[in-house]
Structure 1
């Protein structure tokens, strides 16, 4: 447990940031999984789920949660699945 006031504040802010980052990453993964399941099942709303997944990936990339190359790789994999 930190004793210095600034360290206490830093621990508090990093805990809050960690919660936000974790929820955003989780939302991105959920959007990707929903798209994958819909693509395999051949549902009609595949394009909507594709757009939601790419948006979630782009938001995670902009916030620095994932690397630019990973975002592009993930979007490329999604577009391959939608092309089938």
Structure 2
């Protein structure tokens, strides 16, 4: 348990950061899930629209430190390829 005032403050800050990061990650996952559902339904237009909406959210996650840049790029690339493959 934190005893010094500095350690107590860091613990409070960590709780706040954890809550913010968790909310951001949840929001990004929601956008990605919408893309997955559109792909599963076979609707190419809906999948393309969902992908366009998900891309800025994913990249915002990079700037906010939720994802590494290459991870986000890999996710976008794989989703784009799957959307393109929808007939």
TM-score, length basis structure 1: 0.89
Unpaired segments ≥5 residues, structure 2: none
Could you report, residue by residue, the CA deviation over 1:17-37 in whole angstroms, capped at 9, with x for unpaired residues? 011111111111121111111
Pairwise mapping of residues 63-78 of structure 1 onto structure 2 (< 5 A)? 63-78=64-79
Unpaired segments ≥5 residues, structure 1: none
Offset at residue 45 of structure 1 (A) = 2.4
Could you report, residue by residue, the CA deviation over 1:12-70 in whole angstroms, capped at 9, with x for unpaired residues? 01100011111111111121111111112023422221112111210111111111111
Number of residue pairs matched by the alignment: 84
Equivalent residue number for residue 9 of structure 1:
9
* Aligned CA-pair RMSD: 1.3
**How far apart, CA to CA, are the structure 2 residues paired with 1:35 and 1:66?**
18
Equivalent residue number for residue 58 of structure 2:
57
